[in-house]
Every structure is written in C-alpha cells, then in structure tokens.
C-alpha cells in the first residue's frame, strides 16, 4: 500500500500521520524518538518532517530566506536553521556564540530548543541511506499556503486559523475533520497539541503530491551541507507559481 508520512515534533515526542491516497486510510502514532519513526515507516514512499535537515557552515540557508519571503505575514513561523557546529553545544549561550561566529547571526532561544530534535533527525539521516532516500524537510505553513490562496492569515492557535487549515485539507481528504478529531482523542493535550495534529496531517497529504522546492531549483542545483544532506524545503506544487517539481 502507498504510504506517505508527515511528522511533527511535539511535547510527547514525534507525531506521525501515515496516509494512503488510494484508500484514504490514515493512521497515526506517537513516538519517543525520530529513530523510532524512521524504523516504523522504513517502507514509506516519502516522509516529510518539519525540522531543518541540511545545516549550513556559514551564512543562512537560502531556503529559509525564501520560505520567509513566501509566507509574508507568517514569516515568523520559519526559524533560521542553526549552523552544524551548534549541534555540539551544551547551552544556549555557547550555541548562539557559535552560530554568530559561523553565520554572522545569533541563535534565538526558540531555535535552540529545536536543536535536540534537529540532532535526532541528523543522526538518523547520516546513518541510513534508506532514510536519506525518503525523508525530506518541509514546512507546514508553506504546505497550507500551497493548498489555498496563499498563506493562512490567522494563526493556527486560534479557532478561525484551525478552521481555515482544515478547510484547505478537505478537498484532499474527505473526512479531514474526522481524522483531526480522532487524533485529538488519541492523545493527551500535554503530549500532542491541536497544532501538532494539523501540521503532521498537512505534511502527510503534501508528501503524496508532486513537490516543488522553495526556492525552485533543479535537483543538481540543491545546495548540500558538509554531511551531504540537502539544504532545501519541499512543499506541494499546487498554487505555486515557480514550479520545479518531481514526483
């Protein structure tokens, strides 16, 4: 069966939504580690995760800058990826100093809190060629923007923002509201928030669609980090004007 997976970090670990477009089957699970997610979905056709993958040595990633440009008023939802040296830092002060040394910019406390998760994904991808072939970085807000008339104006923490995002999923998944509610019922809010469900769901649906890059570049032009991992953000080509897609 086709398997397209969307993964979002959450308080309880990692929420994974697994989607089969042929049958509209949707499964979901909560995992303690990203390694467990990768192991459990080793046969997936594609897995999209909301986490930086390729990490710069110097400067900022062009894909982060382009994503912020694309999202406009929602630009703040995109955190600039830290440099690779930050993964070995023991505290925020050290990490910010290292990031400033390598990129010319400090590291926000929000980005610092992502570092353990970035490290998890990085460890899996550096260790597994199979994972590198199926796992890609994506950003939920870019995906929601692609499935509608541009970025969603309302934050997803608001009822109106959640409603608009669910409405954008409905044409792709006939029981989008039911899937959303079943995920909420399965987990405690202290482990999985409403936002996490929306993000993992849109990534799963996006994974099943033709994808483009932001900015749009050909495969051979994607910049790679010191470990050979791509510094790119993928999203559905629907509604995008600068399409450069693959299946």
The CATH number assigned to the domain holding 2 equals: 3.30.420
Mean model confidence pLDDT for the chain: 94
State which residues form the domain around 149. 1-79+112-241
Q: Give pLDDT, residue 12.
A: 97
Q: Give pLDDT, residue 231.
A: 98
Query: How far apart are the C-alpha atoms of 64 and 246, rounded to whole Å?
Result: 20
Residue 4 phi/psi, 5° resolution? -120, 125
pTM of the model: 0.94
Query: How far apart are the C-alpha atoms of 187 and 192, rounded to whole Å?
Result: 6
10 Å Cβ neighbour count for 204? Answer: 33
What is the pLDDT averaged over residues 116-124? 98
Say if 101 falls within a structural domain: no
Q: Tens digits of per-residue pLDDT, 135-181?
A: 999 999 999 999 999 999 999 999 999 999 999 999 999 999 999 99
Q: Give pLDDT, residue 84.
A: 97
Say if 179 falls within a structural domain: yes
Long-range CB contacts (< 8 A, 24+ apart) of 90-96?
none
Residue 246 scores a pLDDT above 60 = no
Say if 104 falls within a structural domain: no
CB of 231 closer than 8 Å to CB of 59: no
Say if 98 falls within a structural domain: no
Q: With bands split at pLDDT 50, 70 and 90, how would you rate the model's confidence at 243?
A: very low
Say if 15 falls within a structural domain: yes
Residue 234, CA distances (Å) to 53, 169, 245 in order: 11, 18, 9
Residue 234 scores a pLDDT above 60 = yes
Q: Tens digits of per-residue pLDDT, 182-233?
A: 999 999 999 999 999 999 999 999 999 999 999 999 999 999 999 999 999 9
Residue 85 scores a pLDDT above 90 = yes
Say if 86 falls within a structural domain: no
Number of domains in the chain: 1
Residue 32 scores a pLDDT above 80 = yes
Q: State the first-to-last Cα distance of the chain, in angstroms, to the nearest integer.
A: 17
Residue 244 scores a pLDDT above 50 = no
Query: How far apart are the C-alpha atoms of 59 and 152, rounded to whole Å?
Result: 29
Q: Give pLDDT, residue 1.
A: 83
What is residue 200's three-state secondary structure?
helix
């Amino acid at each position: 069966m086709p398997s397209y997976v969307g993964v979002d970090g959450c308080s309880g670990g990692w929420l994974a939504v697994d989607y089969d477009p042929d049958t509209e089957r949707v499964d979901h699970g909560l995992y303690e580690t990203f390694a467990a997610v990768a192991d459990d979905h080793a046969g997936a056709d594609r897995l999209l995760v909301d986490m930086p993958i390729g990490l710069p040595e110097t400067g900022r990633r062009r894909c982060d800058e382009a994503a912020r440009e694309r999202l406009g008023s929602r630009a703040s939802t995109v955190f600039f990826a830290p440099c690779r040296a930050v993964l070995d830092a023991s505290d925020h002060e050290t990490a910010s100093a290292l990031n400033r040394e390598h990129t010319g910019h400090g590291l926000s406390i929000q980005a610092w809190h992502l570092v353990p998760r970035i490290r998890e994904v990085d460890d899996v991808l550096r260790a597994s060629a199979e994972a590198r072939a199926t796992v890609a970085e994506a950003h939920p807000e870019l995906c929601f923007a692609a499935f509608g008339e541009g970025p969603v104006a309302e934050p997803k923490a608001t009822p109106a923002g959640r409603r608009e995002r669910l409405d954008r999923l409905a044409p792709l998944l006939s029981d989008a509201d039911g899937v959303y509610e079943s995920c909420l019922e399965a987990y405690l809010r202290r482990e999985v928030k409403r936002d996490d469900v929306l993000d993992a769901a849109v990534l799963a649906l996006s994974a099943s669609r033709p994808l483009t890059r932001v900015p749009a570049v050909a495969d051979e032009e994607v910049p790679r980090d010191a470990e050979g991992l791509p510094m790119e953000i993928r999203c559905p080509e629907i509604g995008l004007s600068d399409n450069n897609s693959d299946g």
